[in-house]
Amino acid sequence: MNNNAKDKIDIRSLGLEALQEHFIRMGEKSFRAKQIYEWLWKKSCFSFNEMSNISKELRTKLDENFVINNVKINSSQVSADKTIKNSFILHDTHLIEGVLIPTPGRMTACVSSQVGCSLTCKFCATGYMERKRNLNPDEIYDQVVLIDKQARENYGIPLSNIVYMGMGEPLLNYANMMKSVERITAEDGLNMSPKRITVSTAGIAKMIKKLGDDQVKFNLALSLHAANDEKRNTIMPINEQNSLKALAEALKYYYAKTKNPVTYEYIIFDGVNDGIQDAMELAKFCKHLPCKVNIIEYNPIAFASYINAGEDKVEAFAAYLQKQGINVHLRRSRGKDIDAACGQLAIKEKAKVSEV
């Protein structure tokens, strides 16, 4: 008997074939593995005891040999605009955050891919945290499951979209991010369309090319914020190793392989990147491949001195891009009053360990 949780195998770290091999070694029929796999991924079951078409004897055997390291909600806050920010607790007591964003016509889950972040984007609260570790595929998947449940229970509407825009850089957790998307989109998983998923990156050129090689079906967003190397180096130090030229080449390669247009995310900071010259540089960068630009409201954080550009400058900036034939959307922040908006995610509380 294997009663020590540390010695048990994380069952969701196993693919179906590996699980079948384990079952054969345990003296069980291999088809049982498929049943368990369906409980884990299609029915999002977090307890062996809930697997009702499995014998009690096998459930006991599963409990002795395996563990389900599921994510739990540590705490939730509801914004005046109905956005819900969650603090999630992981099996090793690390905390991450994920957000349910309800807007007319869609229910979006914003999920994290790492505990903290190794990048140091100056406008982002997560960038001031230390990166503790990557999230496993099931930990990303669980955020989606829990936020979907929240959407159904609070608003009577299931999730329609998922954005990998929470804590961490998804392309620095590439394999686990890709596996989570596979489980979320698979028929024997959550069966969501990849077209409903957007992965956002700060810009890792070689990994953008890898997305192209893997011919991904989900959407790609680049957190750009300046189309001028000197300015982008200051705002996003990652640009020093991934210049705009390198990113443009990687994006063209990605588009050639996938034919997926790219979204550029652009926060307009007052006096930093809000001039017509900045708009001209952005328009030039947009000519590389089919794209759209999301102009995002800046959400202040305690660590940084940036402020949002005035409404007139934002409108002039957007108008210039539109005149250049660029598809532009002005995005209003949601959940700002509970620090749930873009760039505001940072753990400010302790884990409620007793509830785990």
Hey, how many other C-beta atoms are within 10 angstroms of the C-beta on 2?
14
Beta strands 106-110 and 114-115, pairing class: unpaired
Token pair recorded at residue 290: 């089919």
97 noted as active-site residue? yes
CA distance 264 to 292: 6
CATH architecture of 72-338: Alpha-Beta Barrel (3.20)
297 noted as active-site residue? no
Question: Which residue in this structure is represented by tokens 């697997």?
Answer: 51
Task: Calculate mean pLDDT across residues 24-45.
Answer: 93
Give the model's pLDDT for residue 3: 53
The CATH class for the domain spanning 9-67 reads mainly alpha
Token pair recorded at residue 71: 């994510």
Each domain of the chain, given as residue ranges in start order, spans 9-67, 72-338
The residue ranges of DSSP E strands in 187-226, in sequence order, are: 197-201, 219-223
Give the model's pLDDT for residue 255: 98
Tell me, yes or no, if the two domains 9-67 and 72-338 fold the same way.
Answer: no
pLDDT digits (tens, 9 = 90+) for 215-236: 999 999 999 999 999 999 999 9
Per-residue pLDDT band for 333 (boundaries 50, 70, 90) equals low
Q: Which of 169, 311, 342, 349 is catalytic?
A: 342
CA distance 179 to 163: 15
pLDDT digits (tens, 9 = 90+) for 173-193: 999 999 999 999 999 999 999
pTM score of the predicted model: 0.90
Task: Convert 259-279 to b/e letters by CB count within 10 Å (16 or more is b).
Answer: ebebbbbbbbbeebbbbeebb
Is residue 259 within 8 Å of 291, Cβ to Cβ? no
Q: Which of 28, 97, 139, 265 is catalytic?
A: 97
